[in-house]
C-alpha cells in the first residue's frame, strides 16, 4: 500500500518565530499541524480530522487575503511570478480534490447498492452482482487514488519561484500561502492512502469475520478493509444466516457514515479552494 512520511511532509512548515499581526491566526493553525502524527494506515476519523484542519486553515487564509492591508501590500508587489506559481498549483489541486470527491461519492453509492441487496435478500444472484460491482469499483478506486498520490508527490517536489521582497507582510503572506499548499498535499495524501487500502483477498471461512467481531477490529485494519473482509467472507461462504448478514450490514453502515463525513469535508475544501483562487485572482487584477 502507498504510504507517506510524516516527517517529509512537515519539512517545510517552518514559519518565522516573530509573526506579522495579520498572519497570526493562520500561523497558529499551521503550527497545530506540526503536532499531527500521520499513520501509514490512517483511519476514517484521522482523515476527517485532517480535512477539518485543512478547512480551518483555508478559512483563515481567505480572511487574510481579503484584509485591506494584505490586498494593498500584495497589489504593490512588483514581482507577481509567485502568484502564477500558486495559481497553477491551485488549479491542479482543485482537479485532485474534485476527482477525490467523485471517488468518495461513487464508492458511497456502491456501498448503498450492496446494503440494498442485503436487505432484499432475493438470493445469491442479486448479492453476487452488487458484490462484484463493489469489488470492481474498489480496484478502480485504489488505482485512481495511487495515481493522484503520484501527482501530489510531483507537486511537492517542484521548485518554487524565488521571491525577494522588502515588505515584511508580503514576504510572510507568500510564505504562508506556500505552507498551506504543503499542508494540503499532506492531508490529501492521507485521504488517498486511506482510499487505496488493498482489497481483501477472498477467505474460505467465516472465522476471519468472527475474529473481527470478537477482537473489535484490533488488527490494525481501517474501516474500508474491515468492510471488505466482512463482505468477501459472506459472499465466499454463501451464508444466509441473519447474524452474519447483520454483521456485514453493520460494517457497511459504518463505512457509509464515515464516507458521508469525508465527502462533506471534501466539499468544504473544494469551496475553500474556489474562494482562495478568486482572492488570488483579485491580487493579480490589482497590478
pLDDT tens, residue by residue, 47-62: 999 999 999 999 998 8
Range of the structural domain that residue 37 is part of: 23-123+141-197+259-285
- Number of domain units in the chain: 1
Residue 278 CA to residue 215 CA, distance in Å, equals: 50
Query: What's the pLDDT tens digit per position in 133-181?
Result: 998 999 999 999 999 999 999 998 887 766 665 577 888 888 888 889 9
Question: Is residue 89 in a domain?
Answer: yes
Q: Examine residue 226 and state whether it is found in any structural domain, yes or no.
A: no
pLDDT range class, residue 19, cuts 50, 70, 90: low
**Does residue 268 sit within a domain?**
yes
pLDDT band at 207 (very low <50, low <70, confident <90, very high): very low
Closest-CA residue to 54 (of 156, 178, 187): 187
Identify whether 191 is part of a domain. yes
Lookup: cell for 167: 515588505
Quick one: three-class SS letters along the chain?
A: CCCCCHHHHCCCCCCCCCCCHHHHHHHHHHHHHCCCCCCCCCCHHHHHHHHHHHHHHHHHHHHHHCCHHHHHHHHCCCCCHHHHHHHHHHHHHHHHHHHHHHHHHHHHHHHHHHHHHHHHCCCHHHHHHHHHHHHHHHHHHHHHHHHHHHHHHHHHCCCCCCCCCCCHHHHHHHHHHHHHHHHHHHHHHHHHHHHCCCCCCCCCCCHHHHHHHHHCCCCCCCHHHHHHHHHHHHHHHCCCCHHHHHHHHHHHHHHHHHHHHHHHHHHHHHHHHHHHHHHHHHHHHCC
Q: Is residue 222, in this structure, part of any structural domain at all?
A: no
Residue 7 lies in a domain: no
Residue 131 lies in a domain: no
Q: Is the pLDDT of residue 103 over 50?
A: yes
- Please give the Cα distance from 208 to 206 (Å, whole number): 5
Angle at 134 between CA 129 and CA 139, to 5 degrees: 130
Q: Which residue has the higher pLDDT, 207 or 46?
A: 46
The reply to whether the predicted model has a pTM over 0.85 is: no
Closest Cα to residue 195, out of 86, 44, 23, 91? 44
For 228-270, how does the pLDDT look when each residue is reduced to its tens digit (9 = 90+)?
888 887 776 655 567 778 888 889 999 999 999 999 999 999 9
Angle at CA 42, nearest 5°, toward 36 and 46?
55
The highest-confidence range among 107-111, 172-176, 208-212, by mean pLDDT, is 107-111
**36 occurs within a structural domain:** yes
Of 9, 56, 26, give the one whose Cα is nearest residue 190.
9
pLDDT value of position 240: 59
Amino acid at each position: 500500500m502507498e504510504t507517506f512520511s510524516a516527517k517529509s511532509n512537515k519539512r517545510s512548515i517552518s514559519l518565522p518565530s516573530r509573526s506579522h499581526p495579520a498572519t497570526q491566526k493562520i500561523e497558529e493553525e499551521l503550527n497545530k499541524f506540526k503536532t499531527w502524527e500521520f499513520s501509514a494506515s490512517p483511519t476514517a476519523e484521522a482523515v476527517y480530522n485532517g480535512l477539518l484542519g485543512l478547512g480551518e486553515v483555508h478559512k483563515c487564509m481567505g480572511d487574510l487575503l481579503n484584509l485591506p492591508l494584505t490586498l494593498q501590500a500584495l497589489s504593490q508587489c512588483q514581482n507577481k511570478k509567485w502568484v502564477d506559481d500558486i495559481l497553477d498549483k491551485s488549479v491542479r489541486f482543485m482537479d485532485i480534490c474534485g476527482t477525490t470527491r467523485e471517488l468518495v461519492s461513487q464508492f458511497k453509492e456502491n456501498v448503498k447498492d450492496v446494503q440494498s441487496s442485503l436487505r432484499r435478500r432475493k438470493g445469491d444472484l442479486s448479492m453476487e452482482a452488487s458484490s462484484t460491482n463493489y469489488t470492481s469499483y474498489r480496484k478502480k478506486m485504489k488505482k485512481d487514488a495511487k495515481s493522484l498520490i503520484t501527482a501530489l508527490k510531483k507537486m511537492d517536489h517542484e521548485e518554487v519561484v524565488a521571491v525577494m521582497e522588502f515588505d515584511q507582510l508580503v514576504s510572510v503572506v507568500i510564505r504562508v500561502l506556500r505552507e498551506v499548499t504543503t499542508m494540503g498535499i499532506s492531508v490529501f495524501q492521507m485521504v488517498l492512502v486511506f482510499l487505496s487500502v488493498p482489497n481483501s483477498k477472498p477467505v474460505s471461512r467465516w472465522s476471519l469475520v468472527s475474529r473481527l467481531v470478537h477482537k473489535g477490529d484490533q488488527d490494525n485494519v481501517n474501516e474500508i478493509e474491515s468492510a471488505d473482509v466482512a463482505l468477501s467472507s459472506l459472499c465466499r461462504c454463501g451464508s444466509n444466516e441473519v447474524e452474519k448478514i447483520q454483521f456485514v450490514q453493520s460494517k457497511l453502515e459504518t463505512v457509509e457514515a464515515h464516507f458521508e463525513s469525508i465527502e462533506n469535508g471534501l466539499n468544504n475544501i473544494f469551496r475553500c479552494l474556489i474562494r482562495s483562487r478568486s482572492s488570488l485572482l483579485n491580487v493579480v487584477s490589482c497590478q
